[in-house]
Amino acid sequence: MAFDSILRNACIGGREPQLVDIGIAGGRIVELASGITGSGPEQDLAGRLVIAGFVDTHIHLDKSCILDRCKSQQGMLAEAIAEVAAAKRAFTEHDVYERACRTLEKAILQGTTRMRTHVEVDPRIGLKGFRAIRRLKQDYAWAIDIEICVFPQEGLLNDPGAEDLLIEACEQGADLIGGCPYTDSDPHGQIARIFALARQFDFDIDFHLDFDLEPSRMDIEEVCRQTKIAGWGGRVAVGHVTKLSALDSERFTAIAKRLADSGVAVTVLPATDLFLMGRNHDHNVPRGVAPAHRLLDYGVVCSIASNNVLNPFTPFGDCSLVRMANLYANVAQLGRPSELASCFDMVTALPAKLMKLRDYGLAVGGPADLVVLDCQDGPGAVAELARPLFGMKNGRRTFVCPPPRLLHAPCGEAR
Q: Using CB under 5 A as the criterion, which residues of the chain lie in contact with Zn ion when the complex forms?
A: 307
What is the smallest separation between the CB atom of 215 and Zn ion, expressed in angstroms?
A: 20
Nearer to Zn ion, 307 or 398 (CB): 307
Sign of CA dihedral 11, 12, 18, 20: negative
Q: How many residues does the chain have?
A: 415
Nearest residue to Zn ion, using CB?
307
Q: What's the rounded Cα separation, in Å, for the pair 165 and 170?
A: 9
List, in order, residues 6 or more apart from 206 with CB less than 8 Å away. Answer: 57, 58, 116, 118, 149, 151, 176, 177, 178, 236, 237, 238, 239, 267
What is the smallest separation between the CB atom of 61 and Zn ion, expressed in angstroms?
A: 11
Nearer to Zn ion, 103 or 307 (CB): 307
Beta bridge partners of 405: none
Q: What's the rounded Cα separation, in Å, for the pair 129 and 310?
A: 17
List, in order, residues 6 or more apart from 302 with CB less than 8 Å away. Answer: 265, 266, 267, 268, 292, 293, 295, 296, 346, 350, 354
What is the smallest separation between the CB atom of 62 and Zn ion, expressed in angstroms?
A: 11
What is the smallest separation between the CB atom of 303 and Zn ion, expressed in angstroms?
A: 13
Contact (CB, 8 A) for 243 and 291: no
Nearer to Zn ion, 226 or 307 (CB): 307
Give the closest residue to 253 by CA, choosing from 237, 181, 235, 261.
Answer: 261
Label the pairing between strands 18-25 and 205-209.
unpaired
Nearer to Zn ion, 112 or 307 (CB): 307
Tell me the backbone φ, ψ of residue 157, rounded to 5 degrees.
Answer: -70, -25
Q: What's the rounded Cα separation, in Å, for the pair 360 and 369?
A: 8
In degrees, rounded to 5, the angle at the alpha carbon of residue 236 between the alpha carbons of residues 233 and 238 is 135
Nearer to Zn ion, 266 or 362 (CB): 266
What is the smallest separation between the CB atom of 208 and Zn ion, expressed in angstroms?
A: 5
What is the smallest separation between the CB atom of 211 and Zn ion, expressed in angstroms?
A: 9
Nearer to Zn ion, 10 or 119 (CB): 119
Contact (CB, 8 A) for 129 and 119: yes
What is the smallest separation between the CB atom of 81 and Zn ion, expressed in angstroms?
A: 11
Q: What's the rounded Cα separation, in Å, for the pair 13 and 22?
A: 13
What is the smallest separation between the CB atom of 84 and Zn ion, expressed in angstroms?
A: 11
Nearer to Zn ion, 149 or 213 (CB): 149
What is the smallest separation between the CB atom of 65 and Zn ion, expressed in angstroms?
A: 15
